[in-house]
Chains A and B, each alone.
Chain A
Amino acid sequence: MKATPAIIEAENIKKIYKRGAEEIAAINGLSVAVNRGDFIAFVGPSGSGKTTLLNLLGCLDNPTSGKLTVNGRTVHQDGRGLSESQLTRIRRELFGYIFQKFYLIPTLTVLENILVPFAFFRKEGASQDVLPLLKKLGLENRMNHLPGQLSGGEMQRVAIARALVNRPEVLLADEPTGNLDSERSREIGKVLRQLNEEEGLTVLLVTHNLELAAMARLTISLRDGRIA
């Protein structure tokens, strides 16, 4: 990893789920530091805890124990974490998310879907003029189309554009190519790589797709909630 200060730092974090009397450690004492400009792929078998880790690093969930620091702010320490509204404020300043499913609003056009985050929050410096972003993602000719008129790859690119409209520092991608064929998966991989190289965007990726994982600068394998 680079020597630049970590934007996310996890120290011995655990995430334990209770199922009846049984306790399942999805993340079991894991430490990781993510620096600005990193492109990290988390890989591992199903149940290894990679999605749980991404959710914890992206402030979508609180760890059960350990210390998590995001952009210099302690998000969780010794079993005490921030409230949901405090986490939301961190999320909207720092993170953009894309998921396996695209969750676009079917009655809004591509352009409208991309602008949805502005209905709730507009980060300082985020421009209403999204044409450069649309061009970068090859969507400039599709902006007035409805999601139902797009291919899977195009829909994921719209989801990426929506995640980037507020100029996040970190893009978290959870199985972004899980619903796409290999050609479209490569296309998305290239987009992520390009955003990391040209924009300096920090990208955290969870994937089963080894070809996609290979496009990251660093691959971290997980097994049983720990770095393998």
Chain B
Amino acid sequence: MKVKNSQKVGLFHIAWKNLARKKARSLLTLVGIALATWVLISLFGFNSGYKNSLDRDIDNLGFQMLVVAKGCPYEAATLMLKGGTGLKYMNEDVVKLIVREPEVESVTPMLMQVVFDPNKGQSGGLTAFLGVDPASFPKLKPGLSFKQGGWFTDPAALEVVMGYEAAELEQREVGDLYLIPEKEIELKVVGVLERSGTQDDGTIFLPLQTLQKIFGQEGQLTSVGIKVRKETNLAEFEEKMFKLPDVQVVSLTQVKTTIMTLVSTARILVLSIALIAILISIMGVINTVLMSVMERQKEIGILKAMGALAGDVFKLVWLETSLLCLLGGLLGAALAVGTSKLTEYLIRRLLPFAPSGGLISINAGLILTAIGAVVLLGLVSGIYPALRAARMRPLEAIRSDEE
């Protein structure tokens, strides 16, 4: 048997093997750090992911303001972004009043109707229909592109354009017929939209006049989208719109602020929990490393007798702490990335409103920052055990249990 001349036993190797001595204890500490890192990364990933998705949802709406019939602004927000219930109507004459304003670049009237479809899913579900003006709506929604076909041929055509998911769910393609539940009116599918990652994916679009006629809502609208000129002072224009009778204005910045305020409350709560988790895991690290140092007093004494300086022993113990934290951080990051879909699913179930698209955005910068923070905290927590080990006098350490 040959001795490899290249074989070296460095501090890293000794530190690693020291951690392997009490596997269960090291593993439990590591899991504690991993969980804290997981929460930290998921939380900050959620923060930026949610904001990005919300921004994108709002940008994809294509207009900066929405005029709706008087009602709760939250309902208005829901109406805009999710297609909710409790719809209130306003007369389409309001469009004429709005376009008179010099700040207005373009408007698009809309009527939303929601129908319960007993054949949707396992126990039925709601289907949202949005009546839009074929002349103005596409111009305000340049982001929408077609997978098949195009917009309606006529303002009163018996035609539908289906969002990507709506078409998938209904298994419809261009040229197929579509029957509105309980209305027994056949419409022809003339277009299927590409996936946009917004609520449009689940919406079925009809010409405004057609939808008004089918649902007996002639001359009625649920909302008017407004695009204002670039130089417009939004706050002043909003004031002006509030003077219109029986309507209210919801600006998208207002919606965004309201939602972000709601979400940030929840975020502060989760952040507090994350901080507590980190504190607990740091205590775990101190406990683990300190116990390990106390158990190895004699061995540390021997190392010092053999020539290890206080700094060498400090480095060794610190290295053990860093290794624990680094591995815990890496495991936590892997967990955060691996379970981001699950976390997103859980958040969607818990949050009152969640935008479409990815709610959790984890990037390399976030992972590196979180691991760096955990290792830094670990290094701080390792100072005390490392100092205790470094300060041991060899003889006292060797005799530690002989008294």
- Which of these binds chain B: A103-111, A200-208, A220-228? A103-111
What's the nearest-Cβ distance from chain B to residue A85, in Å? 6
Picked from B6, B306, B309, B310, the residue with its CB within 8 Å of the CB of A162 is B306
Which residues in A have their C-beta under 8 angstroms from that of B82?
A: none
Which residues in A have their C-beta under 8 angstroms from that of B1?
A: 140-141, 143-144
Check if A119 sits within 8 Å of B11, measured CB to CB: yes
Which residues in B have their C-beta under 8 angstroms from that of A111?
A: 3, 7
What's the nearest-Cβ distance from chain B to residue A207, in Å? 17
- Which of these binds chain B: A35-43, A71-79, A123-131? A123-131
Check if A60 sits within 8 Å of B307, measured CB to CB: no
Which residues in A have their C-beta under 8 angstroms from that of B9?
A: 108, 112, 115-116, 118-119
Does any Cβ of A come within 8 Å of B244's Cβ?
no
What's the nearest-Cβ distance from chain B to residue A108, in Å? 5
B93-148 interface (Cβ within 8 A of A): none
Check if B307 sits within 8 Å of A121, measured CB to CB: yes
Picked from A101, A107, A121, A134, the residue with its CB within 8 Å of the CB of B18 is A107
- Which of these binds chain B: A2-10, A91-99, A150-158, A185-193? A91-99
Given contacts A88-B309, A163-B306, is CB(A101)–CB(B17) below 8 Å? Answer: no
Which residues in B have their C-beta under 8 angstroms from that of A128?
A: 5-8
- Nearest A residue to B9 by beta-carbon distance? A115
Convert B9-29 into 0s and 1s, putting 1 for each residue whose CB lies closer than 8 angstroms to a CB of A. Answer: 111011001101100000000
Q: How large is the interface on B (under 10, 10 to 19, 20 to 34, 35 or more residues)?
A: 20 to 34
Check if B309 sits within 8 Å of A112, measured CB to CB: no
What's the nearest-Cβ distance from chain A to residue B295, in Å? 11
Does any Cβ of B come within 8 Å of A81's Cβ?
no
Check if A91 sits within 8 Å of B307, measured CB to CB: yes
Task: Give Cα A130–Cα B308 distance, bound, in whole angstroms.
Answer: 20
Does any Cβ of A come within 8 Å of B386's Cβ?
no
**Which of B1, B20, B307 is most buried by chain A, counting CB atoms within 10 A of its CB?**
B307
Does any Cβ of A come within 8 Å of B393's Cβ?
yes
Check if B20 sits within 8 Å of A120, measured CB to CB: no
Check if B306 sits within 8 Å of A108, measured CB to CB: no
Check if A108 sits within 8 Å of B3, measured CB to CB: no
What's the nearest-Cβ distance from chain B to residue A82, in Å? 13
Picked from A99, A107, A129, A130, the residue with its CB within 8 Å of the CB of B302 is A99
Check if B8 sits within 8 Å of A118, measured CB to CB: yes
Task: Give Cα A134–Cα B302 distance, bound, in whole angstroms.
Answer: 21
Which residues in A have their C-beta under 8 angstroms from that of B17?
A: 105, 107-108, 112
Check if B307 sits within 8 Å of A120, measured CB to CB: yes
Task: Give Cα A91–Cα B394 distance, bound, in whole angstroms.
Answer: 11
Check if A97 sits within 8 Å of B8, measured CB to CB: no
Task: Give Cα A110–Cα B310 distance, bound, in whole angstroms.
Answer: 25
B212-265 interface (Cβ within 8 A of A): none
Task: Give Cα A196–Cα B306 distance, bound, in whole angstroms.
Answer: 20
Task: Give Cα A73–Cα B114 distance, bound, in whole angstroms.
Answer: 96
Does any Cβ of B come within 8 Å of A61's Cβ?
yes
Task: Give Cα A119–Cα B10 distance, bound, in whole angstroms.
Answer: 5
Does any Cβ of B come within 8 Å of A29's Cβ?
no
Task: Give Cα A224–Cα B330 distance, bound, in whole angstroms.
Answer: 59
Check if B14 sits within 8 Å of A105, measured CB to CB: yes
Does any Cβ of A come within 8 Å of B303's Cβ?
yes
Picked from A85, A95, A119, the residue with its CB within 8 Å of the CB of B14 is A119
Check if A134 sits within 8 Å of B3, measured CB to CB: yes
Which residues in A have their C-beta under 8 angstroms from that of B394?
A: 60
Picked from B2, B20, B304, B305, the residue with its CB within 8 Å of the CB of A107 is B20
Which residues in B have their C-beta under 8 angstroms from that of A95?
A: 305
Check if B7 sits within 8 Å of A103, measured CB to CB: no
List B residues at the A interface (Cβ < 8 Å).
Answer: 1-3, 5-11, 13-14, 17-18, 20-21, 298-299, 302-310, 312, 393-395, 398
9 nearest CB pairs, A to B: A92-B307, A107-B17, A115-B9, A120-B308, A131-B3, A121-B307, A103-B302, A120-B312, A60-B395
Instruction: Given contact pairs A103-B302, A112-B13, A166-B306, enumerate 7 new A-B contacts (beta carbons under 8 Å).
Output: A88-B308, A101-B298, A108-B9, A108-B17, A116-B303, A119-B312, A120-B312
Q: Would you give 8 A-B contacts (Cβ < 8 Å), ordered by A?
A: A89-B307, A103-B298, A105-B17, A106-B21, A111-B7, A120-B303, A128-B5, A143-B1
